[in-house]
Amino acid sequence: MKLNRILKGSRIAEIDSKAISGGIDSKSLMKNAGSGISKEITGDFENKKLKRAARGLVVCGSGNNGGDGFVAAKDLMNYGMRVIVFHISPGEEFSSDSLFYFKELKEAENSNVYYLNLEDKKISSLFKEELEKADFILDAIFGTGLHAKDVYGPANEIIESINSAKEKNRNLEIYSVDIPSGVDSDNGKILGTAVRADKTITFGCKKIGLVNYPGADFAGKIKVIDIGIPEKYYSEYEQIFEPDFQWVARNIPVKESWTYKYKVGNLLVIAGSAGFTGAASMTCMGALRSGAGMVTLVCPRELNSIFEEKLTEVITYPVEQTEDISLHINSLNEILDLSDRFNALAIGPGLSRNPSTICLVRELLKNIKKPVVLDADGLHALYGLRDASGIKNLDLTNVIITPHAGELSIIMGLGMVPLEDRIKINLEVAGKYKLISVLKGARTVISDYKGTTFINPTGNWGMASAGTGDILTGIIGSLLCQGMGLMESAVCGVFIHGLAADIMVKETSRTSLIATDLLEGIKRVFLEIEKIKY
């Protein structure tokens, strides 16, 4: 099972340099990249079955990204497409390899190559005309080396023109080389403006800017192609990965034919308060749908009858409550004794922020060393523990936290967590508290305190609905009680959660998706997993 690697785009220049020093020819790498791009485009247009030769417009910058574009343009011409090429910088600014393939392109029969000087009204007019005629545009302007500074001047105008052409012609296909021009490949930040690609053809591995928002919104479909650089050159950098369905399915524990509920795994859920019985219920049902053998819910005494009505398959365990009808600190010893009978715990959904309840959670974290997933109101137990003295009293190496960006910002004492900084800050909280952090949101980020991060590829904006996080807590808790490792439970749980939503929106729409729809989606995910495992 091989995970898909993700790197900062700024690593690529160094990787290329090491590969070249190791004996790989730089021109061959560019040739492989350009040829891979042309094969992807021609394959797409073969499926479209146009009644005429496709018309393409290729826009190249001065760096190696532009060189990839020159190679691709020549291949596309040889394939029979009508291709016109514009370069936005004069030839003397090209990289050496880019200049080599630029000259090859210029010498090719019937090549149409122009320097796109927007001050030249004739060339500017030609560019606009070709934008209107094109079936596809290949963006080879900026590559992975663009960082921090906003795109300005003619490049800004050219990118805006490409995006405007798509708005006028929805059938126009826009391809980007390695990363959409204007996206910071290290973090996904938009540098003023960026090409909105339908497909990005990237090399060797995905870049953070392609999978982290807002950059992910500009990348379209992502195709990774091998240009001849061995894996060893990629492996020494940050350890960021993307799971796929096969990897997730293989990690789900196999259940023997003769197994029984106590062996399958027992989960203790500590959740719920007055007004928030739904959160606790969804956590329990998410756990059951994900394969837990038995789920027991610790709840405030006064709410027991409600939970017995809501949860047919869940055992309820009522304990002492506060005046607010939440769990009381006086129930600590009773819960500690009860926890000995369980394989893992899920703590937090709907607990309330009552001081007695938060104190209870903190004491549970101090005393329970079984696997724990901590969510929602339970995260308040970590608030105010940012200094070293607060942290040292808690060993959280057995804990998975599942904050959204707002909760993470409070834990870390930040005003906010910008989209482009999600990976960095999630790694920081995991390292500081020595736990696993699941930063929920579009492309959920999962990091451990050893420096490994996963970026989840499943899910959609329909999940921005109350209760979906409670079901995630149940899924992760269920996988923990079945004996999976903490990181595997977190990554697989998030993947299954998102995939359940992706399945269900085909019936409900993203707009109409609600949290309990995911329970049906989980069933369908496990139907597919079982096809692989059994």
Question: Cβ atoms within 10 A of the Cβ of 506, count?
Answer: 9
Q: Is the pLDDT of residue 394 over 90?
A: no
Q: Is residue 501 a contact partner of residue 425, using CB atoms and an 8 Å limit?
A: no
Does 4-242 match 255-421+450-533 in CATH topology? no
- Helices 26-48 and 11-21: crossing angle, nearest 10°? 120
Instruction: Kindly report the number of other CB atoms within 10 A of residue 356's CB atom.
Output: 18
475-512 per-position pLDDT tens digit: 999 999 999 999 999 999 999 999 999 999 999 999 99
Query: How does residue 514 score in pLDDT terms, banded at 50, 70 and 90?
Result: very high
**Measuring CA to CA, which residue among 231, 235, 179, 234 is closest to residue 208?**
179
Contact yes or no for 211/423 (Cβ under 8 A): no
450, 264, 273: which is closest to 376 by C-alpha? Answer: 273
* CA–CA dist 522, 318 (Å, integer): 28
Cβ-in-10-Å burial (0-12, 13-18, 19+) of 312 comes to exposed
CB 297 within 8 A of CB 316: yes
Q: Which two tokens stand for residue 153?
A: 């001047």
Distance CA 29, CA 50 (A): 31
Class of domain 255-421+450-533 (CATH, top level) = alpha beta
Q: At 432, is the secondary structure helix, strand, or coil?
A: helix
**How does pLDDT run across 122-146, given as a tens digit for each residue?**
999 999 999 999 999 999 999 999 9
Token pair belonging to 453: 């991060």
Identify the burial level of 208 via C-beta atoms within 10 angstroms of its C-beta, where 0-12 means exposed, 13-18 middle and 19 or more buried: buried
pLDDT of 389 reads 53
Angle at alpha carbon of residue 363, lines to 358 and 365, rounded to 5° = 95
Residue of 122, 132, 139 whose CA lies nearest to 88: 139
For the chain, percent of residues with pLDDT exceeding 70: 98
What count of residues does the chain have? 534
CA distance 399 to 532: 30
What whole-number distance in Å separates Cα of residue 310 and Cα of residue 44?
Answer: 51
Cα–Cα distance, 478 to 482 (Å, whole number): 6
Spatial separation of the C-alpha atoms in residues 467 and 308, rounded to whole Å = 20
Radius of gyration for the alpha carbons in the chain, expressed in angstroms and rounded? 27
Is residue 495 within 8 A of residue 508, CB to CB? The reply is no
CATH class of 4-242: alpha beta
Band (392; pLDDT cuts 50, 70, 90) = low
**Domain layout of the chain by residue ranges:** 4-242, 255-421+450-533
Q: What is the pLDDT of residues 222-250, one digit of tens each?
A: 999 999 999 999 988 999 999 999 999 99
Strand 221-225 relative to strand 315-319: parallel, antiparallel, unpaired? unpaired
Residues 345 and 373: beta-carbon distance below 8 Å: yes
What pTM did the predictor assign?
0.94
**21: exposed, middle or buried (Cβ count in 10 Å: 0-12, 13-18, 19+):** exposed
